[in-house]
Amino acid sequence: MNFECIQDCSNCCIEREYYPTIKFGKIGVLILPEEKEKIEAYAKIHNLEVSILPRIGISHEKSGGPTKIIAYQLMGKDFNGNTCPFLDTESSERSPHGGYKCKIYQNRPLACKAYPVIESSPITLDSKCKFCEKCGTTATNVNQEVESLVNIKNKMKTNAPFVWRYATGIGDEHNKNKIATGWFLEI
Ligand code: SF4
Ligand code: SF4
């Protein structure tokens, strides 16, 4: 079945998940280091405040934290970490499928171009995408999404022996005492 967005849906630009566990807080949109300045510049143009936190770091030593960041994340603007700051929820403009418009759609991060594809071989879609709730996690017509995902994977490839994940400290009020902030070594 061909992938197409569900009428009026903006879910993937609003809902943020705890990943990989609640301890790590809610994640944002993955931003490659080469995209960070560009996204900050677009935020300035649109007069938006954005928070970009680290996401994945690497090191050659086991202690002391990462020495290089290989991915950042664009955090949601809501107190609980939801809602991308570039999502236009205020105007009456809508995307072709009726969802809220992305203010930087043509220049959106590679991760947004890849979504909802989360695996390229075999091609797998994110079960949290509203299309998947109705149609399952496989689809055709996702060549550009797959290409973007492969591109991200290639750019994040590393031979470093230690990989670190950043806990954002952000999430729903009722989870606050379970959420950490800072770097944790991946096991
Ligand atoms: S990709 Fe999925 S979750 Fe995102 S707007 Fe389209 S249908 Fe909704
Ligand atoms: S940058 Fe645009 S496409 Fe990406 S999450 Fe934000 S509003 Fe959605």
Tell me the CA–centroid distance for residue 9 and ligand 1, in Å.
6
Tell me the CA–centroid distance for residue 7 and ligand 1, in Å.
9
pLDDT of residue 2: 93
Write the single-letter amino acid at 74: L
Tell me the CA–centroid distance for residue 88 and ligand 1, in Å.
15
Pocket test for ligand 1, best of 1, 115, 134, 144 (most atoms within 8 A of CB): 115
pLDDT of residue 22: 98
The structure tokens 């109705």 sit at 134
Any idea where the domains of the chain sit in the sequence? Answer: 13-108+158-185
The residues, any chain, with a CB within 8 Å of residue 185's CB and separated by 6 or more, are 62, 162, 163, 164
pLDDT of residue 134: 87
CB 151 within 8 A of CB 32: no
pLDDT of residue 10: 98
Q: Which atom of ligand 2 is nearest to the CA of 87?
A: 7
Residues of the chain with pLDDT under 70: 187
CB 138 within 8 A of CB 132: no
Dump pLDDT digits (tens) for 101-152. Answer: 999 999 999 999 999 999 999 999 999 999 999 899 999 999 999 999 999 9
* Token reading at 50: 């954005």
Q: List the one residue out of 125, 112, 104, 128 whose CA is nearest residue 40.
A: 104
